[in-house]
Structure 1
Amino acid sequence: MELYTNLRAGEKGAYLSIAAYIFLSALKLTIGYMGDSQALRADGLNNTTDIIASIAVLIGLRISQRPPDHNHQYGHLRAETVASLIAAFVMIYVGIEVLITAVRNMFTTTHETPDLMTIAVSLFSALVMYGVYRYNLQLAEKVKSTAVKAAAYDNRSDALVSIGTAVGITAAIFGFPIVDTITAILIGIIIIKTAIEIFKEAVYLLTDGFDSDMLDHIKEEIQAIPQVREIREIRGRRHGSRMLLDITIAVNPNLSVRISHDIAELIEENVRTLDGQALAFVHIEPYDPKDVLITEDDYHF
């Protein structure tokens, strides 16, 4: 099935992110301590949370590939959303730790001047993460994975954080060491902000939140079908990367079961043109008044 093939392909992005974050976090933490840069150390800690987040995405993608069973009739696609929620909690914890450490260092009497090597490491990290971001973004668009797209945006934010780190270190070297500490505080805030955004998105999906504009667009597509006399209900929810729709329509009560079935299939096809992974459940009811006559439009698709 294409959906599960895409989930397996999405693992490449998670593996690439994990490898990049392991390498960069080790590099930043080592050079950060050797070169006396709080901002670079904070950025390194940021990347350690990204390792956990990427592993969570990988685990979520793996579990999502499990086929439906008697306890999970719709499959396990929401596993990646749950993994994102767990990753958000880990990121919030580390962000708070970075803030506490930076604030404590702000009130110390001495501030060390960072080494020039820390700037080079920051810029190198930004370049690497931008490359990972571009790869994961293209992969997400190809396999239509919301989890991989979220990982790509996290890669992009990490590239921006590394650029900010380089700016803060440069200011510290030119005689403003407090800027390095302030940059560490800003990085902590960015970590928490990103975590909150991931948390909100995960909760939104897990509580069956759905884009009302998308529903309106789908409703317009269905209303354009001549055989549909009335749309009585339309609801949507996300199950991982798959869109699930419950649609109730009213048609001419004098139509045969075969024609009514064809109308339902036409609606399902229209929905799939909007989202290839969408799954629509169409319920057909008789349209009142019951003495309505069959027209030519009822037979033409």
Structure 2
Amino acid sequence: MLQGPTDRQMQLAAWSGLVVNVLLTLAKAAVGVHADSRALLADAVHSGADVFGSIAVMVGLRVARKPPDADHPYGHGKAELLSSAVVAAVLVLAAVQVGYDSIGSLFTAVSPPSPPAAWMAAAAIAVKEALYQYFHRLGRRLHSRSLLASAVDHRSDVFASSAALLGIVLALVGRWAGVHWLLYMDGVAGAFVALLVLKMGYDLARETAQPLMDRVLEGEELLPYERCVNGVRGVRRIDGLRVRDHGQYVIVDVKIGVDADMTVARGHAIAADVKQVLMQEFPRVLDVLVHVNPYYPDPPVDRGPRDSEEGGA
């Protein structure tokens, strides 16, 4: 497996996310039961789903860092994308379960939560926002899909805990002020948390699906690669350029036109230059496949099909 500072940073981030999610799940569940808070228990279910998501990210990172081999010549980068898809699926399933429980609580006798639930939700907001900032910045710097997916997950926790906190506070105010309908805000907050988590899971699944289906860079994303190839001495034209996204890295397929009367050795040297320049200029490029075409200043004349006497059977 490939080892290095980047790998160590990603593994440290994955482990830190896992440990924090386990601790938050246990703390929210314990306080939620003790304080009788539907919203906090819903948030605990969400954090429990995060534990599973963190494990999926760690497994994806471990597989993705394997070098290319005979069976996987383009590397194992899509394993990281699969882990992102697992995170998305877990978010959706957790949202369904949380929403079901929270909506059901609205049709039963309700009692207000106790103040510790509000303090636990506030603490969770602070911790999860810090994790979001850490994962988001590291994921962008390392071009890691799974770390960015985890960042989205942590941000969803911030929104979920904020909604839980609001519902808990309103329920407490309802008890103190004697406003009965406010007591249901704890359950309403749990249902709102479910909607937030469901949307996050859907958005993440949609973003992950594109690279899994061999998405290629388009438009302005492709321009820097085009400028780089055109800048190589001897390249007269780009006949085709595809940059395939594999998560942490990309694979470049390029067809270049060189002078038609050039020797094969010289054409090969230009192709080697194109590959070297692309890999030096763009750290995400893992490999470059260059196809050389003959370039004619004027298009060759189409002389049409041969006479039947010459080409007939």
What is the TM-score normalised by the length of structure 1?
0.87
Provide, for residues 94-128 of structure 1, a one-character-per-residue CA deviation record: whole Å limited to 9, x for no partner. Answer: 210111111111122x2211111111111111111
Question: What are the residue-to-residue correspondences of 1:29-108 with 2, within 5 Å?
Answer: 29-108=29-108
Secondary structure of the residue aligned to 2:135 is: helix
Aligned partners of 1:8 and 1:62 also within 8 Å: no
SS in 2 for 1:236: strand
Q: CA deviation at 1:232?
A: 1.2
SS of the counterpart of 2:250? Answer: strand
Residues 109-158 of structure 1 show CA distances to partners (whole Å, capped at 9, x for unaligned) of: x2211111111111111111122223323433443322212212322221
SS of match in other structure, 2:239? strand
Tell me which amino acid in the other structure corresponds to 2:96: I
CA contact (8 A) 2:25 2:45 kept: yes
In the alignment, is residue 281 of structure 1 matched against residue 289 of structure 2?
yes
Q: Quick check: 60-69 or 120-129, which moved more?
A: 60-69
Question: What residue ranges of structure 1 are gaps of 5+ in the alignment?
Answer: 293-301
Partner of 2:199: 193
Give the Cα–Cα distance (whole angstroms) in 2 for the partners of residues 131 and 101 of structure 1.
29
Deviation at 1:269, TM superposition (A): 4.3
Hey, what's the Cα distance between the residues in 2 that align with 1:262 and 1:178? 73
Map 1:5-20 → 2, pairs under 5 A: 6-20=6-20
Contact kept, 8 Å, 1:253 with 1:290, in 2: the verdict is: no
1:248 & 1:132 partners in 2: Cα distance?
43
Structure 2 match to 1:252: 259
Aligned with 1:231 (options 238, 250, 255)? 238
The structure with the largest alpha-carbon Rg is 2
SS of residue matched to 1:248: strand
Instruction: Out of 198-207 and 145-154, give the one that drifted further.
Output: 145-154
Aligned partner of 1:156 in structure 2 is 155
Alpha-carbon shift at residue 244 of structure 1 (Å): 0.8
Q: How many residues align?
A: 291
**Ranges of 4+ aligned residues in structure 1 off by more than 4 Å:** 1-5, 289-292
Q: Which amino acid aligns with 2:40?
A: L
* Post-superposition offset of 1:159: 2.1
The CA deviation at 1:249 is: 1.1
CA spacing shift, 1:67–1:217, aligned 2, 3 Å = closer
Question: Does the CA-based 8 Å contact 1:205-1:238 persist in structure 2?
Answer: yes
Separation (CA, whole Å) in 1 of partners of 2:282 and 2:184: 50
After TM superposition, the structure 1 stretch with the greater mean CA deviation from structure 2, 236-245 or 249-258, is: 249-258
Q: Deviations over 1:264-284 (max 9, x none)?
A: 344334434553021321111
Q: Rate the CA distance shift 1:287–1:269 in 2: closer, same or farther, 3 A.
A: same
| Aligned AA (2:171) | A
Letter in 1 for 2:275: E
C-alpha separation between the residues in 2 aligned to 1:76 and 1:5?
19
- For the 8 Å contact 1:63–1:76, the answer to whether it is kept is yes
In 2, the alpha carbon distance for the partners of 1:284 and 1:3 equals 35
Give the deviation of 1:36 after TM superposition: 1.6
Aligned partner of 1:271 in structure 2 is 278
2 CA distance for matches of 1:149 and 1:89?
16
Amino acid at match of 2:32: G
Q: What stretches of structure 2 of length at least 5 have no aligned partner? A: 175-181, 301-313
Q: Counterparts of 1:255 and 1:112 in 2: how far apart (Å)?
A: 85
Query: Displacement, 1:4?
Result: 6.3
| Alignment partners' CA distance in 1, 2:2 and 2:268 | 25
Code of the residue aligned with 1:17 in structure 2: it is G
Instruction: Indicate conservation of the 8 Å contact 1:36/1:115, yes or no.
Output: yes
SS across alignment from 2:240: strand
Contact kept? 1:8, 1:61, Cα under 8 Å: no
Once the two structures are overlaid, the 10-residue window that deviates more, 255-264 or 32-41, is 255-264
Are the aligned partners of 2:85 and 2:208 in contact in 1 as well (CA < 8 Å)?
Answer: yes
Q: Is the 8 A contact 1:250 1:286 kept in 2?
A: yes
Whether contact under 8 Å (1:229, 1:251) holds in the other structure is yes
Moved more, 35-44 or 217-226: 217-226
8 Å contact kept, 1:3–1:277: no
Query: Offset at 1:287?
Result: 0.6
Cα pair 1:8 1:65 within 8 Å, conserved? no
